[in-house]
Amino acid sequence: MLMLLLVWITKVRGQTKFFNVMKYGAVPDGKTDNRVLRASTDPSSLNTDHWISFRHVDGLTLTGGGSFDGQDSPNTDEIHIGRSSDIQIFDSTIAIEDDYISMSHRSKNINITKVHCGPGHGISIGSLGKLPNEEPVLGITARNCTFSGTSNGVRIKTWAPSASPSIVSNITFQDIIMDNVYNPIIIDQQYCPLHNCAKKAASRVQISDVKFRNIRGTSSSKVAVNLQCSSSVPCEKIELMDINLAYKGSDGPVDSSCSHVSGVSYGEQMPPSCI
């Protein structure tokens, strides 16, 4: 897929500027390689760990009916947010091998609405706690999103052991449809993909005030709700409201699993709540 017409609107010192990519050489004929916005298949040509980045900007709007084609580079996050606040992402469709949207430290007031994901991973807060001096992640909302055939749905992950204490708070995942998702709802505070991690060490990232509301659909694994929090700083004020996730595998019925979690659950609870 190539983007056909993508207009960048950016506010520079209060003035709105439009950038029409056709003026920068994009040709919408369905044949021309418009590498305006299609990544090279050779990652070494980038010289960096990212393809398109926005830094030190204020008041940027990126809009239009186009697409970014990363030519599905492995182990890539589609949209990675860090050290940023007041961001809205809406009406987007994402298919990628790694996290669709990941939010790392010092992400604040992020609003994700009507995003469709699949196949690939999911929406992730984290991973956090890998680096020293990480700052809190506060005020993230994801609403009216759908996930199809993904390995994760909504996830918070923190490293164990963690290099520094930190905070994740005021997070809402609401009105979400899961279609055949392996881990629809997951908090993983034992994230450690490296071989030599000390599995016994606990994460020092405190997770609190996380709401999972009106999350429905199907899980492709038995444990549809999996909340594995830190033994040293347990999760607090976790809310499960109106959860209805079905699992059809022979090792059913659908289940939930919690460690070191306190909070409330109400409304429909399928699987039965472990809080």
Ligand X SMILES: *[C@@H]1O[C@H](CO)[C@@H](O)[C@H](O)[C@H]1NC(C)=O
Give residues in contact with ligand X (CB under 6 A).
88, 90, 109, 111, 113-114, 139, 141, 144, 170, 175
Nearest to 99 by CA among 83, 82, 116, 121: 121
Q: Which is nearer to ligand X, 113 or 257 (CB)?
A: 113
Distances (CA, A) of 155 to 8, 172, 218: 30, 11, 16
Active site residue 121: yes
Minimum distance of ligand X from residue 148's CB (angstroms):
16
E-assigned strand segments in 21-136: 60-64, 79-81, 84-94, 101-103, 107-117, 123-128
Q: Name the closest residue to ligand X (Cβ).
A: 139
Report helix, strand or coil for 186: strand
Q: What is the Cα–Cα distance from 212 to 85, expressed in whole angstroms?
A: 22
- Indicate the pairing of strand 205-219 with strand 60-64: unpaired
Minimum distance of ligand X from residue 227's CB (angstroms):
20
Minimum distance of ligand X from residue 168's CB (angstroms):
12
Tokens of 253: 């019925």
Minimum distance of ligand X from residue 58's CB (angstroms):
17
Nearest to 256 by CA among 181, 185, 168: 185
Q: Which is nearer to ligand X, 174 or 221 (CB)?
A: 174
> What are the CB-based long-range contacts (under 8 Å, 24+) for 26-35?
28/2, 28/4, 30/2, 34/2, 34/3
Q: Which is nearer to ligand X, 71 or 88 (CB)?
A: 88
The single residue of 80, 105, 121, 260 carrying the catalytic annotation is 121
Q: Which is nearer to ligand X, 174 or 259 (CB)?
A: 174
Active site residues: 121
